[in-house]
Amino acid sequence: EVQLLESGGGLVQPGGSLRLSCAASGFTFSSYPMSWVRQAPGQGLEWVSVISGSGDSTYYADSVQGRFTISRDNSKNTLYLQMNSLRAEDTAVYYCAKEKPPWLRLFDYWGQGTLVTVSS
């Protein structure tokens, strides 16, 4: 059974940093691109970033480019999102999501999400 479990969310001041983790199990983690998708309170879904299965290719939404860094440790079956220079508009539930190959950005499994609140 595929399981994705996010952690690392919390309250952080504007300008601060936070690192999210997503522990994966139930599938061959290194074989799949993984994404982060976020949802601001009461709002819709916004794709944030993706990393290839090997970790050598990444891509970001314009809204987080230069501030967020996605990475993965395939030996630990874990996905990460390092978030720097956080802004109030980054407040959201952050989901990690597994892609359904061969398609780009089609997500067949999601974690339960972790809430990030950026506020002073």
The yes or no reply on residue 41 touching other proteins (CB under 8 A) is: no
Stretch of residues binding other proteins (CB under 8 A), selected from 12-20, 46-54, 64-72, 78-86: 46-54
Exactly one of 23, 30, 53, 59 binds other proteins (CB under 8 A); which one?
A: 59
Q: Could you list the beta-strand ranges (E) of 1-120.
A: 3-7, 10-12, 18-25, 34-39, 45-51, 58-60, 68-73, 78-83, 92-99, 107-110, 114-118
**Dihedral Cα 103, 107, 91, 52, nearest 10 deg:** -50
Q: Please, which residue, 56 or 75, has the CB nearer to other proteins? A: 56
Stretch of residues binding other proteins (CB under 8 A), selected from 7-15, 22-30, 67-75, 110-118: 110-118
